[in-house]
Structure 1
């Protein structure tokens, strides 16, 4: 009986280890659908023990799309097929712990541009939805930096 119980427990552990990565990888969302073909967003990371679905919803709430003329022009240069944006949020468990967010934009299999910043003091001590304003600021910087690089004659793909 003990052998059957241990074998079943072992099989259940293997099953959940194999299933959870595929479920996390299927979490790609379509965002900025009014701009060209949109962007495929993937959210990575953890936020102090909250479920990943809560973190993903907070990130979706904070994402900013290219908006002004220069940003839209720069985006059109990489939007032949839908670019891929990967946002990572890390905040360890515990009140006031440091954390960071990063965004990396890929197009046609190439890295285009990225931004990284520390979480604001508010986002370090609140629920995942407090990180939305940090993500919005980081995304605004990402689009601005891409537009600036293109306006100075820099390469689309560095």
Structure 2
């Protein structure tokens, strides 16, 4: 027991601190997207895709995010546009061919959750490179903007 307290606790603390530093490095990376709509959206990309570098996943996400474009979507976006909202996209796919993965898209305004979408990765995305997930990300972000516009048109709250 003494050995565990003497050596195990410091090792556990070092591992947890390394995990926090690694997370802080990826969480600090943000991109401006949808610049043609009001002040745009701040994007954070999280997750891991089957052992590929995070930069490859980030590039795939940046290439596939949809922005609000319809009249209802733009009207809804205007309600949260100042300051620019924050979108977090997390893609997780374990290593190995055909492994199940998931995708989560969350929209925040002024630090508060607005709306989100979550879905499993398509069969095609589970067996290919991170760029194969582009259609899934496009679908999830399109659904997010559509659902947000529908909620606003029904008279629902901007922030639930």
Fold equivalence (TM over 0.5): yes
- Preserved contact between residue 27 and residue 46 of structure 2 (Cα < 8 Å): no
Residue 47 of structure 2 aligns with which residue? 45
Structure 2 gap segments, 5+ residues each = 1-10
**1:25 aligned to 2:27?**
yes
In structure 1, stretches of 5+ residues that fail to align are 1-9
**1:130-141 equivalent positions in 2, closer than 5 A:** 130-141=132-143
Whether 1:36 and 2:45 are equivalent positions in the alignment is no
1:149 is matched with which residue? Answer: 151
User: Could you tell me how far 1:94 is from its partner in structure 2?
Assistant: 0.4
Aligned positions of 1:2-151 closer than 5 A: 17=18, 20-151=22-153
**How many Å separate the matches in 2 of 1:19 and 1:69?**
42
Counterpart-to-counterpart distance in 2, 1:26 and 1:109: 15
State the SS of the aligned residue for 1:125: coil
**Post-superposition CA distance 1:46-98 (Å, at most 9, x none):** 00000000000001111000000000000000011010000000000000000
Q: Name segments (4+ residues, structure 1) moved above 2 Å.
A: 16-23
Question: 1:99 deviation in Å?
Answer: 0.3
RMSD of aligned residue pairs (Cα, Å): 1.6
Q: How many residues align?
A: 146
Structure 2 length as normaliser, TM-score?
0.87
Deviations 1:98-128 (A, max 9, x none): 0000001000121000000010000000000
